[in-house]
Homo-oligomer: A and B are copies of this chain.
Amino acid sequence: MKRVTIHDVAKEAGVSVTTVSRVLNDRGYISTEMKEKVLKAIKELNYIPNEMARSFFSNQSKFIALIVPTTENPFFGELTFRIEKALAKFGYHLFICNSLNDPENEEKYLRLLNEKRVDGIIVGSHNVDISEYKNYENQIVSIERKLTENIPMIQSDDYNGGVLATRELISQGCSNILCVIGDKNVETPANDRSLGYISEMEKNNLKPRFIEIPFQIGYEEKYKIIKDTFQTKFNFDGVFAGDDVNAKLFMNVAKEMNYDIPEDIKIVGFDGTQTMRSLVPELSTVVQPIEQLANEAVKILLDLLQGKKVKKESTLPVELYLSRTTNRIKN
């Protein structure tokens, strides 16, 4: 049995090779009847054109999927941009999946992996039952999410970020420091931020205090939780806000309620995207190395796809950034 070529298709359909080519490339005039004949022959012979064959025989689609909660969030918007840039250098294209509130979407992407339509996945979010990921351990890396024992994870030094932020607040005279945590039921390395906070508080004989603001709820809801925190239990002089969105919302509510920042309350965020630092220069924050996170995740995934041995955990250093106008926390 020999390989099926465009000539076989032409012969089977009883048309010229040019006609088959036109149908394949959707170019030039072609009658519906002719087109149907050609498609029938293609189907019968199971013929595939070269570029599809290339991708299949090389066993590579050159497509990578990225699952993030939402590109609307400044951190994930920038991370997506950086990952796409990093992949493009190696000739890979990026799919994007905004998984927020939609675990089904995540499952769909795992199916694409199964069908070999994408080569690998970078996960920055997870709703799907972790056991689902077990079948694809050699094609997935995660950023700031622990999926399974074997899936490589790249993360910022969240713990140290929590330490640095809390230490700075204490050194500026705060003693009643509130720590914002995400959804308590979701285990993420971001939780390490609060562990760093706790450690530093206890070292200074201060009592850790928390408020919960789930990541996936809308801005208005977050605003309400923060407003409520001010109205019902205001006796804090410092806030380690977990991320920059919460930090800015705390600053807004404080201003609205006529608290003086930094006199009455000092606030430190987390993430430190270009956008937030440029547009909100009065924000003090723990800066994640977003570009390096992206580059490292891409490097590890491509190594993994080539069957190379890779590090199971990579932790990249963070940096405390104090607002531009002064060298102290001055929100």
Contact = CB atoms under 8 A, between A and B. Distances in A.
A43 interface: yes
Interface stretch (A120-128, A191-199, A206-214, A245-253): A245-253
A3 B278 contact: no
A278 B227 CA distance: 14
Interface stretch (A68-76, A166-174, A175-183): A68-76
Nearest to A88: B105
Interface in A4-19: 4-5, 8, 12
B39 A72 contact: no
Contact of A45 (B1, B77, B325): B1
A4 to B, nearest CB: 5
Nearest to A80: B71
Nearest to A47: B46
Interface stretch (A51-59, A149-157, A230-238, A312-320): A51-59
A129 interface: no
A124 B53 CA distance: 31
A223 interface: yes
A328 to B, nearest CB: 17
Given A1-B8, A45-B1, A51-B115, A219 B98 contact: no
A34 interface: no
Interface in A76-113: 76-78, 80-81, 84-85, 88, 93-98, 100, 102, 105, 108-109, 112
A72 B279 contact: no
Contacts of A72: 74, 77-78, 81, 273-275
A280 interface: yes
Contacts of A2: 44-45
A83 to B, nearest CB: 9
Nearest to A4: B46
Contacts of A5: 46
Interface centre among A93, A105, A281 (most CB of B within 10 A): A93
Given A52-B56, A84-B97, A71 B74 contact: no
A44 B3 contact: yes
Interface of A: 1-5, 8, 12, 25, 39, 42-48, 51-53, 55-57, 63, 70-74, 76-78, 80-81, 84-85, 88, 93-98, 100, 102, 105, 108-109, 112, 114-117, 218-220, 223, 245, 248-249, 252, 256, 273-275, 278-281, 325
9 residue pairs, one from A and one from B, having the closest CB atoms = A219-B278, A77-B77, A96-B96, A51-B115, A72-B81, A71-B80, A71-B77, A3-B46, A248-B279
10 contacts: A3-B44, A42-B57, A70-B81, A71-B84, A74-B74, A77-B77, A77-B80, A84-B96, A220-B278, A249-B279
